[in-house]
Chains A and B, each alone.
Chain A
Amino acid sequence: MRLNKIILSFVSALVILFSTSVASFAKVVGDKIILGAAISLTGKYSSNGVHTQNGYNMAVDRINSMGGVKVGGKTYKFDIIYYDDESNPKRAAQLAERLISQDGVEFMLGPYSSGLTKAIAPVTEKYGVPMVEANGASRSLFTKGYKYLFAVLAPANLYLDVAIETAVELNGGKPVRIAQAFEQDAFSQDVRLGILDAAERTGSKIIIDDKLPKELNDMAATLVKVKQMKPDVLVVSGHTKGALTAIRQIAEMKVDVPMLAMTHCDAAKLSKQHGKNSQYALCASQWHKSLTYKDDFFKDGMTYAADFEKEFGYDPPYQSAESSAALLVFKDAFERANSFDQKKVRDALAATNMQTFYGNIKFAPGGQNVDKPMVLFQVMCDDAGKCENKVVAPLKWASAKLIHPVPKWSER
């Protein structure tokens, strides 16, 4: 009886072992290049996870329908294996292991958010799997000497320093007084470091430097300080929560500040949720559809936005655009490497120098994209209360003139 049990469990263990190894994929099956991605489809990042996935899928369909990837004289098509990482870094790292060692994936796409990318990067690095990621901007990702990590987006410390420079410029080149409030997470703290650099560069003074808790939903105390100390610029970064809370409380407390700069405005659907109260907010963005970059697949930002809307029913946030760009980078690298050898693809990725509808892409040795500046847009509303995001800086891309200083609440 006992022996039977032992044999039974031994056999079932074998069956399980075989079933998993039989199911495993090779990197390239037939005419398919299989990429792996752990994406947050549930959990707190699920909205942006879905934006990321939609961006990937859109690019896969487009590249496949326009001739696919040509390597060694043969045409291949992209395919992606997705797993849900539940917005959990530990789970993301496990899934990366699984994608690589069980599913045999040899090329990876990034997850959503800096935190999750940080969790996955050591794994892809260990196995020498090239990963092109589009949603991890934290500076710490690019200082660890990772060789197989490539990010199509600008690092977090560059998000808002344009705002400080613009403020100084508008102040006649004289230093400004800065108030800042940042959530205590990797991304926002990197944005903060960027501001500190910009302040030092321009000789500006930081008079309020608040660190907001992760479960931030109240920043009245910071705003009271702003009201009393009257800085020239107020910088806020705390993901969508931070953007929504800031606008709500600034409007309610009638805080007058000549310039308000933030992150995550479009992810927060700021103008939709707050209407006219969000007017004049300056927002850092990786991409805006009105930028005039071009490529062969999506043509330009406006066409991309229209096609995306047709397919998914909403205006693409920059998270989707940068995710689509990641696939374009992979395609380009495969064709230049003319091989599926991971090292060769990695070297081809490192030598990337191209323009996509999303922007120019050229990687620094650390893996970050250094060829694409951030843009700042300003929320502008008409009298009927319809609001639009218009690019105001850098001047090369501007489609509207920056309104500065922001009108006082008593005059609105």
Chain B
Amino acid sequence: MDFLVFQYPMITVQACLDGILLGVLFALIAYGMALQWGVMNIINIAQGDLVILGGYIAYFMYLYGIHPAWGVIVAPVIMYFVGIAIYKLVINKVVDRDLFISILATFGISILFMQLMNFAFGADVVLANSGYGTTMLFDNNVVLPNSKIFSAFISILFAVCLVIYMKRSKLGRAIRATAQNARAAKILGVDTEKVYAATFGINAALCGVAGALISITFTIHPYMGLPYTIRSFMIVIVAGLGNLPGVAMSGMGLGVFEEFADYILGTEFRIGSVFLLLVLILVYRRFKLSRKREYLK
């Protein structure tokens, strides 16, 4: 059992592809998290719940006969404004406080969102069918659902657009300036309040896209948000803050790692092994950091 990967070599190819396709989607969520973490110093526990809310938008479009793939465009628009609203109501009051307060605040938002979604949409597990079919490779030994390929493609598209937007646009420059030094940016005339609101809105919009994709590829449920928060948190930790290409790499890396852990160690160790990796990376980081500090002394 343990060495399925060697018994059936095609599993290796399958695991790599599955991991990458999954990882790209997670990286998109993590990307939003990294952005607002970097700019506002807020760890958003409600990240996963924003994702699920985006999923419900696509699901409702599907219910009303619109192809759920359009959710990829509609969900971020709605979620952008949801994000701005959350910012104006809660986040702007905690943005300059310490990390603990912002974690508590977003944790509260997360619980509120879960209950509201449960209240509004019910506790049933739902999904949107895209009807995209399947791609078969290598004599039918490797199968890739087209919905996953579509998700990965859209994720990459949005990530690339965002990177360009960050580099080229005025707002993008303002966001980067604020991330580097909020006070200095303020002195130089950047309206940081607006930048924060926009950042939170962009993050929510990214969650909306990811949510729509998740409703097409997996299932959604009001209480399924937390695993997405944790996953994106992990990706950001592994990549390190302010390292956006790193987020993409660590997203895919974790995806592939997880798939292999599944085949080699067994499904029950899948999540555990990812957490173990996280601990190892943190310990390694700390080790490296302490050496650096000593050197500086």
Q: Which parts of A233-278 form the interface with B (CB within 8 Å)?
A: 240-241, 244-245, 248-249, 252-254, 268-269, 273-275
Known A-B contacts A220-B18, A221-B18, A228-B11; A44 and B267 likewise in contact (beta carbons under 8 Å):
no
A221 x B15 contact (CB < 8 A): yes
Measured between alpha carbons, how far is A213 from B224 in the docked complex, in Å? 12
A42 x B134 contact (CB < 8 A): no
Task: Report the interface size for chain B: residues with CB under 8 A from the other chain.
Answer: 44
Chain A's interface: helix, strand, loop or mixed, by majority?
helix
Measured between alpha carbons, how far is A249 from B123 in the docked complex, in Å? 22
**Which of chain A's residues have a CB closer than 8 A to the CB of B218?**
217-218, 245, 248
B124 x A269 contact (CB < 8 A): yes
Among candidates B125, B136, B271, residue contacting A254 with C-beta atoms closer than 8 Å: B136
Among candidates B4, B214, B222, B226, residue contacting A228 with C-beta atoms closer than 8 Å: B4
Measured between alpha carbons, how far is A257 from B267 in the docked complex, in Å? 20
Known A-B contacts A221-B267, A240-B124, A245-B218; A215 and B224 likewise in contact (beta carbons under 8 Å):
yes
A227 x B125 contact (CB < 8 A): no
User: Which residue of A is nearest B21, CB measured?
Assistant: A220
**Which of chain B's residues have a CB closer than 8 A to the CB of A42?**
115, 118-119
Q: Which parts of A38-73 form the interface with B (CB within 8 Å)?
A: 42-47
A3 → chain B closest CB, angstroms: 39
Answer whether residue A355 sits at the interface, using C-beta atoms and an 8 A cutoff. Answer: no
**Which of chain B's residues have a CB closer than 8 A to the CB of A221?**
15, 18, 259, 262-263, 267, 270
Interface size class of A (residues with CB under 8 A): 35 or more
B15, B123, B227, B266: most-surrounded residue (chain A CB, <10 A): B123
Answer whether residue A224 sits at the interface, using C-beta atoms and an 8 A cutoff. Answer: yes
Answer whether residue A97 sits at the interface, using C-beta atoms and an 8 A cutoff. Answer: no
A210 x B266 contact (CB < 8 A): yes
A228 x B134 contact (CB < 8 A): no
Answer whether residue B223 sits at the interface, using C-beta atoms and an 8 A cutoff. Answer: yes
Q: Which parts of B266-295 form the interface with A (CB within 8 Å)?
A: 266-268, 270-271
User: Which residue of B is nearest A252, CB measured?
Assistant: B145
B270 x A213 contact (CB < 8 A): yes
Answer whether residue A184 sits at the interface, using C-beta atoms and an 8 A cutoff. Answer: yes
**Which of chain A's residues have a CB closer than 8 A to the CB of B268?**
184, 210-211, 213
The residues of B with any CB-CB pair to A shorter than 8 Å are 1, 4, 7-8, 10-11, 14-15, 18, 22, 115, 118-119, 122-127, 129, 134, 136, 140-141, 143, 145, 147, 214, 218-219, 221-224, 226-227, 259, 262-263, 266-268, 270-271
Q: Which 10 A-B pairs have the closest CB atoms?
A: A252-B145, A211-B268, A210-B267, A221-B262, A217-B218, A215-B227, A46-B123, A228-B8, A253-B143, A240-B125
